[in-house]
Amino acid sequence: MRWIGLGLLILSSLVAAFVPIVRPDIQAAPERLTVQPLFSLPVLGEVYLTNTLVMLVVVDLVMLGAAWLVNRGLRREGLAAKGVGGILIFALNAMYGFTENVAGKWTKKVFPWFATLTMLILFANWIELIPGVDSIGILRQSAEGTPVQVLIPGVLATVTTAGGSGSFELFPFLRGPSTDINFTLGLALVAMTVTQIVGLRVRGFGYLKKFFNVSQIFKKPFLGVMDFLVGLLELVGEISKVISFTFRLFGSIFAGMVLVVLTGALVPVLGQSLMLIFEFAMGMIQALVFGMLTIIFMTQAMGEGHDEKTDEAPETPDGTKNALDPATMASQAERS
């Protein structure tokens, strides 16, 4: 196996040295694959088929395949399943244990959302690292592109330094969904909307006092006004969580994509390989952070995650605060 890896490394080095590449287009907005919009919505406007939307469909199919492997493994061998299904079952079992430590009695309500969001983001981040993503696409003329000599129109072109057929940029067919701010914003809205829904279902309309507390405004006007203002700050805080969710995931993965592309142009083989390893770890970290924060916010919305409802974090036998207290973990995850 190591000789195969060494051979591929040498071959890729030769290809990178003698076959120049067209510089890919790097932009925050996803590239449109269709000239005409697919349909129009009253508020959102025209919706086009983009490369991130195509890749999201691929990620969904991968998620369905993973669910099928888990179901087959559980039916045939239970928790002792082997292969890819066994790895997924082990990962989900570990995630359930982590959720149980954090959410306590709310585990069954929180875990499906935590597992789904984490696995979806994980697959969306890792699929960006597959060869061909961001590197295979169509050429479009651009004043800042690479000089290209078209050999077969629409099929084959090569980089040239002798004028050629014009300057072109590569618009990839596939691009990671996490590099599209629409995807990360959608995930953030889902996570925080579900958080408010479970809070209302568990605590009833009393949950709204967290944001609109007017119970003391006539009895103790000064304290009542202060409670009302604090509630408004809580509401602003909930909105800021959506913004934080959105830009943390988008910024990390989009910056990683740019680094991989630039490293591939400067140091094609070794440098890009190291960046891919780094982005592999970063994609996993960002998925776990998103999922952990979702657990913590949902647990806090429903109430204390442990069986005893106290305002203080639960203590361990030695008298220290439990590190798995939701408030403590929220602050730690926000700093990561």
Q: What is the pLDDT of residues 49-63, one digit of tens each?
A: 888 999 999 999 999
Q: Does any domain span residue 289?
A: yes
* 298's tokens: 């949902």
pLDDT tens-digit readout, 71-83: 888 888 777 778 8
Question: How many CB atoms within 10 Å of residue 243?
Answer: 11
Report which secondary-structure segment, H or E, holds 152.
Answer: strand 137-152
Query: What is the sign of the dihedral through the CA atoms of 55, 57, 58 and 60?
Result: positive
The count of residues in the chain is 336
As a whole number, mean pLDDT of residues 149-157 equals 58
Which residues does 178 contact at the CB level (< 8 Å), separation at least 6? 121, 124, 125, 128, 184, 249, 250, 253, 254, 283, 286
**189 falls within a domain:** yes
Q: Looking at the domain assignment, is residue 29 inside a domain?
A: no
The alpha carbon dihedral of 98, 100, 106, 111 has a sign of positive
Contacts of 296 (CB under 8 A, 6+ apart): 102, 326, 327, 329, 330, 333
Distances (CA, A) of 293 to 70, 195, 219, 241: 25, 11, 37, 10
Whether 18 is in a domain gets the answer no
In-domain check, residue 4: no
Statement: residue 229 has pLDDT above 50:
yes
Q: Is residue 59 part of a domain?
A: yes
The reported pLDDT for the residue numbered 203 is 85
Please tell me the predicted confidence (pLDDT) of residue 246.
Answer: 92
Ranges of H-type helices in the chain: 2-18, 51-76, 83-103, 107-126, 181-203, 221-266, 270-302, 326-335
Domain range enclosing 88: 50-136+173-305+320-335
Structure-model confidence comparison of residues 172 and 99, the more confident one:
99
Query: Residue 287 contacts by C-beta under 8 Å, 6 or more apart in sequence?
Result: 118, 119, 121, 122, 125
For residue 144, tell me if it sits in a domain: no
Q: How large is the average pLDDT for residues 76-103? A: 85
Task: Give a yes or no: residue 91 inside a domain.
Answer: yes
> If pLDDT is split at 50, 70 and 90, which confidence band does 301 have?
confident
Asked whether the CA dihedral 101, 103, 105, 111 is positive or negative, the reply is: negative
Is the whole model's pTM more than 0.85, yes or no? no
How many structural domains compose the chain? 1
